[in-house]
Chain A
Amino acid sequence: MSAQPLPSNENDASITTIAPKEEAPTSVRKLPPPEKPSDVRRRSHVILSFWLIVLLLGLPIWWKTTTIYRADLPLEEMLEWADGKACRPVFPLRISIQATSLQDQEAQNLLRLTQHALDDLNDFAGHHLRLQLGDEKQDSADNGSALTIRLTQGEGTTAMLDPYEPILDITYPPNTIPSPTASSSALATYIASQLRTTFAEEQATISYLLSTNSMPSEHRPLGLSPETAESLAKRTTRSLKYAPTYHLTFSLFTSGSLPSSWDIEMAIEEYMKPVLDVLSPIHNFTIDTQVQLYASPGVQNQVLNKEDLSSFINAAEWPLSPSIGGAPTINFIVFVGNQTIASASQDAAPTSQSWLIPQWGTVYLLSLPGDTTHVTAATLKQPLLTFTTHLLSLTGTPESGSLPLRLSTLARIRSADLLLRASSTLGSLARLAMALPSISIPSSVADGVTKTMSHLRLACDNLGGTEGLAHARIAEAEAERAFFEKSMVGQLYFPDEHKIAVYLPLLGPVAVPLVMGLINEIKAWRKRRRERAENGAEKKEQ
């Protein structure tokens, strides 16, 4: 429309153009000259090469740069550990019998019968008592036996635990020695039942630990009565998590301004140190003490009820901050004041002065004359003895048996506990990795998992010994470290809307010409093929 045509002309033109349009609109338009085949081929090559670049270069680069690094975790194995399939906790306990007064033959016979009786009594495969004959010279600690039975002739059948050594003294009347042919013997049954009572608590605790964890049912021991389970549950919730070092804080709190000093150092040295020394193979202890005046308790009642005891600690005001450096803190508080505890039974005299706070520590109420300025070591004797007993129960030491036996039991319970804890942490980590596909897993986590599993394997093989405890300890620490890896805890929030906002402005406008080009090319290619086929058919017909 470059030139301005005359109005009449325009009318004419419009008539001439409109008329044929109504019949066949495309017939007026000229067809473009036929394309050279080389141009068509070049166009196909261009489109093909663009698509090849996008698919072979673009996509891999995009994939490589946007994937989240996830180290390979042995998920199957980890879940196996968590389910208890990887390790069957077995505590083979060797018990040596010292029977100097018996002849070898007789002793062997007695041993065989006792073992038989034991196997009959035992219903829990994980905890196994194996008897062996020990000789006099060998010390019980050297041959790795957990307990030594010393058989001596005496008036009647008695049994007594040695309070300082892991030795069970059993006396027997001479006529109870079983004959070589006897299939059962009263003495053997007696020894077996004695052993069973000695290890009953340990057995119960370990089976309780196993039952609370996700152990397969075939390893799960039966026959835990609800009462036992309940008391064990209470005891396990009371005790602190295992740590190689505990930090003990002794605090003197007074409601007024007096007393302001105490002989705590001397009192600890005298009343508590012996027990700490005994516990030293399993735990280390660091100690600090403090005096705090004008400390008002959280409850002001004169007589404290059971409900008041839990809110007695004034956490907001009392400076009881836990120690720094990783060791858990156990608090022992002597509170000087005139408050008393209401006893459960009405008629009993109010004698109780202390209570234990699970996994935290102990409070001891000490009433002193109003003008006492200095608390002597003698006054602190009763509080410290209470603290010592509570310390044992806070560390999870069993309640029955002699002290050496209780401690060796503690080591075994602790290693089982750590083993199970580390396994369940591994399981949680595996489940976490599976549940969150967009969480990144750094290689340090994979390292931690590998280390945990190797130590768990070693711990499982040496269960019951000190080595097992050490390995279980390392495994637990490594598992915790892997689980609480810093970069995994804070998962980056990267919502899908965000991705769309980033990708769409770039990919949308680029993808449209690419896709349209491809579609058109395919259409044209199909058309060409059909035309060629038609041409071929026509040629054939001709």
Chain B
Amino acid sequence: MRQLFSFVLLSLVSFSSLLSSASAAAADYHEQLVLRPLPLSALLASFNFRSNISLSEFEAHNFRFFPRSLGQILQHAGTQELHLRFSLGRWDSESWGARPWDGAREGGTGVELWAWLQAATDEEADHKWLTLTNALSGLFCASLNFIDGTRTTRPVMSFQPEGDHLNTTVADTHLLYGVLPHEVVCTENLTPFLKLLPCKGKAGIATLLDGHKLFDASWQSMAIDVKPICPIGGECVLQIELTIDMVLDIDRSKRPRDNPIPRPPPGHELPCDTSKPYHSHDTCFPTDHQANQDWTLSQIFGRTMKGTCPLTDPAVPPVCLQVPNSRSVYHSDGVLEKKNLDRISRCFEIKPDVNFEIVLPAPEDESAVLVKPETPLLYAERSFTGHGQERGGVQTILRNPSPDTEVEFIYMESLPWFMRIYLHTMSARVQGQPSKDESLIKEVYYRPAVDRARGTQLEVRMRVPPASTVFLTYDFEKSILRYTEYPPDANRGFDVAAAVITILSPAGYNLRTTSLLCSLPTPDFSMPYNVIIFTSTAIALAFGGMFNILVRRFVAADEGPEVGLAVLKKRIKERIGGLMEKFKKNKGRKTENGVGEPREKVNNVGVETEVAKV
């Protein structure tokens, strides 16, 4: 099995290098936008920017298309290969089908970073990782510097380098993986992203990128991939690939920006599902799938595309649209439309300095509106089970839709240390069978957490038989954090990073589950003061009692000094009377000058006695 596994890997690597060598032979920069309408009035827009720098130029610090700011970070941190992801939202694979780029250019919710670093020892790698995360944090205005030891893992099976690494350097490269599920990706991350492009956001497809639209999307993922590529017989180049994928809701995008409140369409405009038995002139079941498939580029992105980037490789058409060839599409002047042979896509060649616009009218032929989404190799969803503040469980439902092919994959979790998992409870069973199936899990790599130092790393190589659903479950214990370790919004819960699923066979494919929100027992945050006051009171009571018993004298009730309100009143009266007298006498002495002062009578009430209540 292991041999087979390595063979698969090898073939994967060689395949990717073959692909990449083909692209490396092309020009130093290219960019492309692929638009694919999806069911439920969604539109997938995939932006891809790719630029190369030869390794010799890179080492001489002469940057042209490769961004200098990123380049010097990579050099400073000894990074061989880098992958950075900023993601938001959820890919709805039930309706949208397989993921773009086979899932290779997306991350879990929040920020994900993994890199191969050149270092002789683990400590050196950790040090370089720290430098890298801190520098990237500054460059991308993200909290990447919070990727510390507790959020960093060293995956063993899940990730494989995409680039071509020399055999001599492979030995001392270290793969580190860090994830920040809590990070909210926003416009401040897009701006530095655009700065990395040679044409900025000023020309070419990047002009369509607008923070308002991008972060309004149902799902979006920004990816930065840097890898070395060595074509056979050519000079090695370092390639940076910037990818932005987003699924826009056409309905929401078409709303005018100054009046974004949605309003229901009038009844006669509703597209109805006529196949329903109850469909009649006054009942309507709305069909979502076919609705709203007419749009223009400026409606979706809020602006038209401003020409092309002059640096781009002219052989690659800048914009492609994946709709059936039978659908008519209008475009602006100076644009050449080319329908591809696969009958489901067409590309546009655009002259520089032309404002590009496409218009998709409402489809005439209802049967060929969309390209049918591809079925993904695996569906995965993960959720918490159990109740209470002490224990919980995680259940991942993995469904293989293929009727005849078994899927083998690696399931990787990097959990925070405060989720202490019980590995012995981990089990996998096929739906419909009550007992667990031992043959589903083939290999487990588990690195237990160390409190406050590192998180749990769990990698499971497993399989899902054809046309079946597998439940992978395990239990965990929630630990109680220290007072200062809670974030300000402790009752919101703690984000748990997405599980990464890397499919090994039948084909390379990646997917991630959604991230989870784990609620830990949160204390009352006035606790320290309560504790101080409570213990102080207890100590004071004990001490006071003991001290009084030791020190005071116990006598009968009628032997002690009298107590009560009347006594107190009298005493105060006496005191005041005494003071008054003294005052008067003082006055008199001043006038008479020289009369001897009578001695004050000492109040000789016994003080060391206590009234014993019998």
Contact = CB atoms under 8 A, between A and B. Distances in A.
Contacts of B570: 25
Contacts of A317: 195, 200
Nearest to A286: B61
A294 interface: yes
B553 interface: yes
B174 to A, nearest CB: 20
A257 B310 CA distance: 7
A260 B64 contact: yes
A365 to B, nearest CB: 20
Given A289-B62, A290-B63, A319-B195, A324 B311 contact: no
A257 B195 contact: no
A319 B67 contact: yes
Contacts of B131: 324
Interface residues of B, number: 57
Given A25-B562, A293-B200, A324 B76 contact: yes
B559 A47 contact: no
A269 B211 CA distance: 43
Given A502-B532, A509-B536, A520-B607, A294 B559 contact: no
A258 B68 contact: no
Contacts of B559: 29-33
Contacts of A258: 310
A37 interface: no
B193 to A, nearest CB: 12
Interface size of A as a range? 35 or more
Contacts of B335: none
Nearest to B550: A46
B354 interface: no
B76 A294 contact: no
A19 interface: no
A323 B311 contact: no
B63 A288 contact: yes
B25 interface: no
A92 B173 CA distance: 54
A57 interface: no
Interface stretch (A66-74, A99-107, A228-236, A510-518): A510-518
A14 interface: no
B169 to A, nearest CB: 22
Interface string B388-410: 00000000000000000000000
Nearest to A504: B536
Contacts of A513: 543-544, 547-548, 551
Interface string A25-39: 110011111010001
A264 interface: yes
B205 interface: no
B181 interface: no
B64 A261 contact: yes
A510 B68 contact: no
A321 B70 CA distance: 10
B328 interface: no
Given A288-B62, A293-B200, A501-B529, A324 B67 contact: no
Contacts of A88: none
B332 interface: no
Contact of A294 (B72, B200, B539): B200
Contact of A505 (B63, B67, B532): B532
A484 interface: no
B533 interface: yes
Contacts of B548: 513
B336 interface: no
Contacts of B536: 505-506, 509
Interface in B81-98: none
Interface in B524-581: 529, 532-533, 535-537, 539-541, 543-544, 547-548, 550-551, 553, 555-556, 558-562, 570
B540 A510 contact: yes
B551 A32 contact: no
Nearest to B528: A502
Nearest to B545: A513
Nearest to A251: B68
Contact of A265 (B62, B65, B139, B555): B62
B62 A520 contact: no
B293 to A, nearest CB: 35
B352 to A, nearest CB: 8
Given A257-B203, A257-B310, A510-B540, A290 B532 contact: no
A43 interface: yes
B128 to A, nearest CB: 12
Interface in B263-303: none
B199 A257 contact: yes
Nearest to B551: A517
Nearest to A257: B310
A523 interface: yes
Contacts of A324: 72-73, 76, 131, 135
A520 B548 CA distance: 12
B349 to A, nearest CB: 18
Interface in B462-484: none
Contacts of A510: 539-540, 543-544
Given A30-B559, A257-B203, A294-B202, A321 B69 contact: yes
A513 B76 CA distance: 66
B314 to A, nearest CB: 14
Interface in B396-439: none
Interface string A490-513: 000000000001100110111011
A272 B543 CA distance: 82
Contacts of A295: 200
Given A46-B551, A505-B536, A289 B544 contact: no
B39 interface: no
A293 B551 contact: no
Nearest to A50: B547
Contacts of B203: 257, 294
A505 B135 contact: no
Given A294-B199, A513-B544, A517-B547, A257 B69 contact: no
Contact of B68 (A288, A325, A514): A288
A291 interface: yes
Interface string B349-366: 000000000000000000
B60 interface: yes
Contacts of B73: 324
B609 interface: yes
B107 interface: no
Given A286-B61, A505-B532, A521-B551, 20 more contacts: A29-B561, A30-B558, A30-B559, A31-B559, A35-B553, A47-B551, A257-B310, A258-B310, A289-B63, A290-B68, A293-B198, A293-B199, A502-B532, A505-B533, A505-B540, A506-B535, A509-B540, A509-B541, A513-B547, A527-B604
Interface of A: 25-26, 29-33, 35, 39, 43, 46-47, 50, 249, 257-258, 260-261, 264-265, 286-291, 293-295, 317, 319, 321, 323-325, 501-502, 505-506, 508-510, 512-514, 517, 520-521, 523-524, 527
22 contacts: A29-B558, A32-B553, A32-B560, A32-B609, A260-B64, A260-B198, A287-B61, A288-B72, A290-B64, A293-B198, A294-B200, A324-B72, A324-B73, A324-B135, A501-B529, A501-B532, A506-B535, A508-B540, A509-B536, A509-B543, A514-B547, A520-B608
